[in-house]
Chain A
Amino acid sequence: MSDKSLPPAPLGEFEQLVLLAVLQAGASAYGAVIQREIETRTGREAALGAVYTTLLRLEAKDLVASRVGEPLPERGGRRRKYYRVLPAGIRHLEASLAALRRMAAGLPSPLELP
């Protein structure tokens, strides 16, 4: 990690969730799977529209890359768009998670009022 580059702009919470979901889903990370990863792991319903907007934004920032798959009958002959996280994405995620860990360091787990 080079110190010459500016520190990466902090990721939004939903951006972190999406990036982590892409990593969790591995090779088959496409919209519906990413959405399901977020839903099952956080326990809250995620809007597919929000997932898409976020993925587009992450792609524009060169944090993720996408490739288009083959048409599939179970999707009415439509194709999937698969995402993978790019090195810059990993760096951003690391920075965000590190910040969170540092913030939580020394606090009891589970958290309690001092």
Chain B
Amino acid sequence: MTPTPPRLAAWLLRRLVPAGEREFLLGDLEEGFDRHARGQGSAAAWRWYWRQALGAALRSWTMPDEERPVAGASLAALGRDLRGGLRVIRRAPLFATLVILTFAIGLGATAAIFSVLDPVLLRGVPYPNGSRLLLVNDRGVDNEPQNIGWLTFRDLTEQSRTLEGAAAVTGWTPILGGIAEPARLSGQRVSHQFFSVLGVRPALGRDFLPEEDHADRRNSVVIISHAMWQRQFGGDSSAVGRTLRLSDRSVTVIGVLPPGFESLLAPGAQVWAPLGYEPGDDWACRECRHLRVLGLRATGIGLPAVQRELDAISGRLMAANPDSYARPGFYLQPLDHYLTAAVGPVLLAIAAAVTLLLLIACINVANLFLGRALARAGEYAVRAALGAGSGTLVRQAVAEAVVLALVGGFLGAGLAVAGVEALVRLAPAGVPRLDQVRVNGVVLLVTFLVATLVGILAGLAPATAAVRARAATVLRHGSRTIVGGVSRRLRASLVVVAVAVALVLLVGTGLLVRSLDGLLTVDPGFQPEGLLSVEVQTYGERYSEDAAVHRFFAEVTERVRTLPGVEAVAATSQLPLSGDYDTWGLRIKGHERSNPAEDPSAFRFAVTPGYLQAMGIPLLRGRALLPEDRAGSPPVVLINETLAQTEFAGEDPIGQQVQIGSLDSPWRTVVGVVGDVRQQSLESPGERQFYMPTTQNPWADTRLVLVIRARGNLARLVAPVRAAVREVDPTVPIATVRSMSEHIARNTASRVFALAVFRVFAAVALVLAALGLYGVLAASVTERRRELGIRHALGAPREALLGLVARSALRLTGLGLVLGLGTALAGGHLLTSLLYEVSPTDPRTFLGVGLVLLAVAGLAAAVPAWRAVRVDPVEALREE
């Protein structure tokens, strides 16, 4: 096969060489390529072609108009200036590269971060009624927001006029059957108004009817997501009216939601069924606080008016049911506030960090342009003296900035695309609307314009100064004096600001590092290493008897216990640090509150015997739960240390009587005290917790999490555990399998995420600040060569010359440090919600960061200082 010229090079030429010459040039190059290929082999020919092509491309791209054939001379002046701008890349490659890279990093990072922030934080709730939606909560003993019981919800919807509508929602995890391996779905049970309150209509079929929201029909109809419709019915429009097998029952699909619909309170939900509660139901009481209630503010009614009316309703409800409410009034939260509250602090801290990064990038670009202008002051003056109009000079300065910003902007856009992908991949679970994150063109454009503006201003200042100054003066006094005075001071101030910004970012990073280190060494109250969690859910007719559920879990536990490597196994109704949340009210005999609604609440763990051992939770007093504690035997309970201290201060809790849940439930004897476990997050200590045998609960928990302590690789245990569950009952699905370390990683994900961003930004800021410092010091040494030379000739020792540079370095860095420390002290509280047991003004962090910055400043000053010492007096004096 005959070799062919490199296609990319040829493509480049086709793009860049003017049409008039393109054909001949390409033809000649091809002939040349063949000749070289015959004479010297295809590799040499290949290299020759690339060399020639790049040379020709660059030449024709940057060719001045006056050298162009007449055809090209019609190009607008703008084109000429832009080409002039491009020439800067050839003439000052280091300067151009630094400017382009700084632009690219600054723009890329900013665009990436704000592209993520925009849909997540700024775009609001994606429902037609989004801005009018409120979360309505009961108030707890400490006025904290609490879920709502169904009777309260019913009264609220009947009585409120300021709310146009309200809907109650709770979680639902039906098992999809009729397929090879039953799967657990994520779904919601909703009151019939749910979709109309959101303002969403099914794309196919219809919404729920009020008569379907009753006990007799709650299991007969569902509305499904667009994705589920695609998966289960292949997007067939006849799906409405067909049936699905959910948790052993046949239900009819009555509607399909529009694509892109996401239930913000249950991301990933795919099926919705009516709530179907009736006033007499055990789970419908006022104290059965497990429903989220969404209210729709009537148009034209403000939040305060809603609050006033709902508080009045609450007053009436409390008067009628004094034992059911702890505090008067409802706790209202606009839905968008609620959604962003969890991720807001992380993203806002990151937004602040990226703004600082953009600032430091702009400072550096300005600094680079000023430095270059300084070096070209003489050239400007000569050109002005020779009659170049001020317009031309300014236009060319602007063109240079625009061209560099353009090139940097393109690179930055690429960085932004990669950055957004990385951010989405790294983002902690629970960030809403993450799937809608795209590189945002508007954001890219705005940051790009900002950076260009900075470049223009920085390039403009010296050009106009040169034009304004009397050219003769500039020429007589050597190149740098006139423009230099202003620019030098400006550059120095910019470096001070850059150092300050870098310090702020470093402090932020330092604080986050210390928080994460602190958090990762927190004792969660159990031993997470070598612990596998497997969530299993029973369902359907076969498990309608509690005994069947208990038997199933007992059998699974026994089978898993015999697997090789397994040291201990037990099951629990909720797993620490997994997002499980189940609190119950409890009363202590002799300590009952006059209002039962004010009784303390605590996390409830229904566990099988051996749970403490499997988890590695220490037993502090008394005894653990035993197989003998079963249905029918005297009811027992274990409490944790915090519960013992807060409710039994100065008493021995062992042997005391505790009632859990409703007022008619049995009294239980406290038989042991165990260590605290971090349930909600590693940060939250001091939660009240109690443990009861699964078999002594008023009903069987159908969903339990197996905790398996094992030696060796946990991943290798997954298949045998699955098999063990299948052997007991092949229709029971395993919902999630995760190691305890994975749960902990998810729990700290947002912190790790923020820290990763801060680390990168702080490193970039540090490098940029160091470069700025180096630039200013180096320029100052160059300018003062003469002075340094004379000093040297007059016998100034080397240390004195070194001291000169060191002093200016120290002055700039010192000022920056002071400015940065002040800013960090003032702005540190922005990070507070991300810090763990570290003060935002932690002296150790500030000291360490200050030292790092000084060390880097020392490095940046070293080369200029070395050059200052090595100035040869004779040469320096001869120069000008």
Contacts and interface: CB of A to CB of B under 8 A. Distances in A.
B59 A50 contact: yes
Contacts of B59: 47, 49-50, 53
Interface in A32-58: 32, 35-36, 47-50, 52-53, 56-57
A27 B29 CA distance: 20
Interface string B48-85: 00011001111110010001111000000000000000
B737 to A, nearest CB: 61
Interface string A52-75: 110011011000000010001011
A79 interface: yes
Contacts of B32: 32, 35-36, 48
A52 B27 contact: no
B24 A81 contact: yes
B30 A60 contact: no
Contacts of A68: 24
A49 B56 contact: yes
Given A49-B52, A49-B55, A49-B56, A80 B21 contact: no
A31 interface: yes
A76 interface: yes
B26 interface: yes
B23 interface: yes
Nearest to B24: A81
B56 A47 contact: yes
Contact of A53 (B27, B28, B57, B67): B67
A79 B25 contact: no
A75 B27 contact: yes
B31 interface: yes
B34 interface: yes
B26 A78 contact: yes
Contacts of B35: 32, 36
Contacts of A47: 51-52, 55-56, 59
Interface residues on A, range: 20 to 34
Contacts of A50: 55, 59
A98 B632 CA distance: 124
Contacts of A35: 28, 32
The listed residue with most A CB atoms (<10 A of its CB), out of B21, B24, B29, B30, is B24
B69 A56 contact: yes
A94 to B, nearest CB: 24
| Dominant secondary structure of chain B at its interface with chain A | helix
B28 A59 contact: no
Contacts of B68: 56
B30 A75 contact: yes
Given A52-B21, A53-B63, A56-B21, A74 B55 contact: no
Contacts of B26: 75-76, 78
Interface string A72-93: 1011101111000000000000
A35 B27 CA distance: 13
A59 B55 CA distance: 21
B67 A56 contact: yes
Interface string B3-31: 00000000000000000010111111111
The listed residue with most A CB atoms (<10 A of its CB), out of B23, B28, B68, is B28
Contacts of A36: 32, 35
Nearest to B20: A56
Nearest to A31: B28
Contact of B28 (A48, A56, A57, A60): A48
B813 to A, nearest CB: 47
The listed residue with most A CB atoms (<10 A of its CB), out of B56, B68, B70, is B56
A78 B30 CA distance: 10
Nearest to A47: B55
A86 B800 CA distance: 69
A59 B69 CA distance: 8
Nearest to A72: B27
Interface in A11-42: 30-32, 35-36
B24 A78 contact: yes
A70 B51 CA distance: 28
A76 to B, nearest CB: 6
Contacts of B28: 30-32, 35, 48, 75, 80
Contacts of A30: 24, 28
A87 B661 CA distance: 112
B27 A60 contact: no
A113 B25 CA distance: 44
A31 B23 CA distance: 11
A36 B38 CA distance: 15
Nearest to A57: B67
A97 B69 CA distance: 27
A79 B63 contact: no
Given A47-B56, A50-B59, A56-B67, A79 B23 contact: yes
Contacts of B23: 78-79
Contact of A52 (B25, B31, B51, B70): B25
A44 B35 CA distance: 16
A79 B27 CA distance: 7
Nearest to B54: A49
A38 B874 CA distance: 45
Given A47-B52, A48-B52, A49-B55, A31 B67 contact: no
A35 B68 CA distance: 20
Contacts of B69: 56, 59-60
A60 B59 CA distance: 18
Contacts of A56: 21, 67-69
A48 B57 CA distance: 10
A31 B30 CA distance: 11
B24 A80 contact: yes
A76 B56 CA distance: 19
A48 B56 contact: yes
A44 B330 CA distance: 89
Nearest to B58: A49
B24 A79 contact: yes
B67 A74 contact: no
Nearest to B26: A78
A53 to B, nearest CB: 6
The listed residue with most B CB atoms (<10 A of its CB), out of A31, A49, A81, is A49
A71 to B, nearest CB: 9
A60 B32 CA distance: 26
A74 B28 CA distance: 10
Nearest to A78: B27
19 contacts: A30-B24, A32-B29, A36-B35, A47-B55, A48-B29, A49-B52, A49-B56, A50-B59, A53-B60, A56-B21, A57-B67, A59-B69, A74-B34, A75-B26, A75-B27, A76-B27, A79-B24, A80-B24, A80-B27
Given A32-B29, A59-B69, 20 more contacts: A30-B24, A32-B35, A36-B35, A47-B51, A47-B59, A48-B25, A48-B56, A49-B58, A49-B59, A53-B60, A56-B21, A56-B69, A60-B67, A60-B69, A68-B24, A74-B34, A76-B26, A78-B24, A79-B24, A80-B28
Interface of A: 30-32, 35-36, 47-50, 52-53, 56-57, 59-60, 68, 72, 74-76, 78-81
- Nearest first, the 4 A-B pairs at minimum CB distance are A49-B56, A78-B27, A31-B28, A75-B27
